[in-house]
């Protein structure tokens, strides 16, 4: 299965803007969703949803990461792949709950 590792290549500029990248990202998300029925999957897939412009799914993953104290949540405010979300009230609420300035 192609979902062994969730690294930055899934949310890279190539995947973000190219049609092939979007198809590949959606295929990866489908595999991740199937895998999540059998084992734990990190909410880090929020970066893939962000690259696809799927804000509701991003915030679903971010909330899960927050509730599970996922280590990667400490990078939310500085991760450039999430910059487009900073003006969303849900992002501001999450930052407040995490006690980020």
Q: Kindly give the confidence (pLDDT) of every residue in the chain, 101 residues in length, as a single tens digit, with 9 standing for 90 and above.
A: 333 334 454 444 444 555 667 888 888 888 888 888 888 777 778 888 888 888 899 999 899 889 888 887 888 888 888 888 999 999 999 999 999 87
Maximum separation of any 2 CA atoms in the chain, in Å: 40
- Identify whether the C-beta of residue 29 lies closer than 8 Å to the C-beta of residue 45: yes
What is the sign of the dihedral through the CA atoms of 54, 80, 94 and 67? Answer: positive
Per the structure, the count of domains in the chain is 1
Residue 32 lies in a domain: yes
- The pLDDT assigned to 72 comes to 76
Residue 67, domain extent: 8-97
DSSP for 23-54 reads HHHHHHHHHHHHHHTTS---GGGHHHHHHTT-
pLDDT of residue 13: 46
- Domain assignment present for residue 3? The answer is no
3 state DSSP class of 99: coil
């Amino acid at each position: 299965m192609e979902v062994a590792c969730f690294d930055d290549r899934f949310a890279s500029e190539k995947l973000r803007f190219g049609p092939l990248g979007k198809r590949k990202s959606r295929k990866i998300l489908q595999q991740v969703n199937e895998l999540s029925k059998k084992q734990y999957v990190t909410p880090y897939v929020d970066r893939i949803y962000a690259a696809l412009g799927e804000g509701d799914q991003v915030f679903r993953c971010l909330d899960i990461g927050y509730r599970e104290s996922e280590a990667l949540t400490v990078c939310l405010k500085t991760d450039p792949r999430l910059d487009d979300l900073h003006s969303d009230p849900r992002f501001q609420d999450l930052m407040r709950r995490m006690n980020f300035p």
